[in-house]
Copies of this chain bind each other. A is one copy, B any other.
Amino acid sequence: MQPTPQVGYKERAMQAEIIAVGSELLTPYRQDTNSLFLTDRLNRLGIEVIRKTIVGDDRKQIAGAFAEALRRAELVISIGGLGPTEDDQTREAAAEVLGRRLRRDEAVLREIQERFRRYGRKMAPVNERQAMVPEGAEPLPNPNGTAPGLWIETDGRLVVLLPGPPRELMPMFLEHVEPRLRERAGDVLLLTRELRVAGMAESDVEQRIAPIYTRYEGVQTTLLASPGEIQIHLRAWTRDPEHANKTLDELTDRLAVALGTHLFTTRGESLEEVVARLLNTHGATLALAESITGGLIAQRLTSIPGSSSYLVGGIVCYSNEVKTAWVGVPAELIRQKGAVSAEVALALAQQIRERSGATLGLGITGIAGPGGGTAEKPVGTVFVALADGRRTIERNAHFPGDRERIRWQAAQLALDLIRHYFQFPTGQP
């Protein structure tokens, strides 16, 4: 049983392929990321990306990729290979596949020369190659570099050549490509929602929500897992935004019920953004005493503009001496219970709160590894506590993974504890 009619939710204006050109993109060190930006912008126009191809700086390979893509897609966008050197072969490959000659475009050449003049540099003869334009192609201005883009129409298909550097590609696409594509794409819209969940495994999230979202066939649902967090992306293409918005809202509501207190946003916010908003809304301030996370919680909270309004300060108290001297945890307590214990987390929270005058104090301690674990307290053990002067709440966990992963999950646990404090003040933490 479908809860609502699905017809029309998978409408697409056009299908596109992206070809990323560059031998460095075939090494273990570098990855094409421009295609994520392009996919996002294309999707918003109702254009679906059906394939991405990554090839090296080799004219035959590039030409082959163009030829294949043009057999499948109405729109082919290439990224990179428009530079001045012999390595850069995208222009030549596209011209070859489309059966067009390259001619020197005097206006483009003047622009390149002008650019060099402006920066007081002499134009090398190789840069003349960048003024070569396939017959019938339209150059797209590049205010941030010497390589113009190219817009080519051919047998009802579109070929767009964009430069590789993001600061050249992005403005060129937004200013010169997107408006033209919008005209052709018509009135298909992409509507999205993003839910995020803390403290659940991906498989648990999937088990809870799959019975719901699979009934909404017109909505594309993607789960994305990172340590301590699962993102749920909902997308619907439509020509009837009112109806699609209603469906997305309904699906969001049902997923929210299924996810319960684990859900921390339906608007794609980060956990630190949510915590920052809650602190601001409640006029509360926070002080941190971080052992295992070593400044990560402070760094995440201060990554948000305006964080000085709620973050009084933080102490990174790695050593027992600093826990005692700077935060005020009794040395005797550390000796008795161990630095990694619920009692020390609690003392950190209470003491940092008192010393700072903040509304809330948060203390966290644990073992990030690789060394330092014991049978009783293995690597990955974390204790976190929050104190407000009247009551305290605590959590502990045992996280898998390496040092970085453990520390990130510990920070998630701490931030999520603050969220629970505000959102479920009377419930279990």
Contacts and interface: CB of A to CB of B under 8 A. Distances in A.
Given A322-B356, A403-B303, A27 B294 contact: no
A36 B31 contact: yes
B28 A31 contact: no
A319 B326 contact: no
A319 B287 CA distance: 12
Interface stretch (A6-14, A53-61, A169-177): A53-61
A223 B299 CA distance: 29
Contacts of A220: 23, 27
A25 B288 CA distance: 38
Most buried by B among A25, A61, A296, A407: A296
Contacts of A224: 24, 29-30
Nearest to A302: B294
Interface in A296-347: 296-299, 301-303, 305-308, 311-319, 321-322, 326
Interface stretch (A43-51, A135-143, A243-251, A380-388): A43-51
A26 B49 contact: yes
Contacts of A253: none
A28 B50 contact: no
A54 B36 CA distance: 13
A51 B55 contact: yes
A115 interface: no
A90 interface: no
Nearest to A327: B313
B319 A316 contact: no
A269 interface: no
A305 B402 CA distance: 11
A295 interface: yes
Contacts of A39: 26-28
Contacts of A61: 50-51
Contacts of A321: 312
Given A313-B319, A370-B305, A404-B303, A26 B54 contact: no
A51 B51 contact: no
A296 B299 contact: yes
A298 B268 CA distance: 28
A28 to B, nearest CB: 4
A294 B272 CA distance: 14
Interface in A261-296: 288, 290, 293-296
A80 B62 CA distance: 25
Interface of A: 23-31, 33, 36-37, 39-40, 43, 48-56, 58, 61, 64-65, 68, 72, 220, 222, 224, 231, 233, 235, 288, 290, 293-299, 301-303, 305-308, 311-319, 321-322, 326, 356, 369-371, 403-404, 407
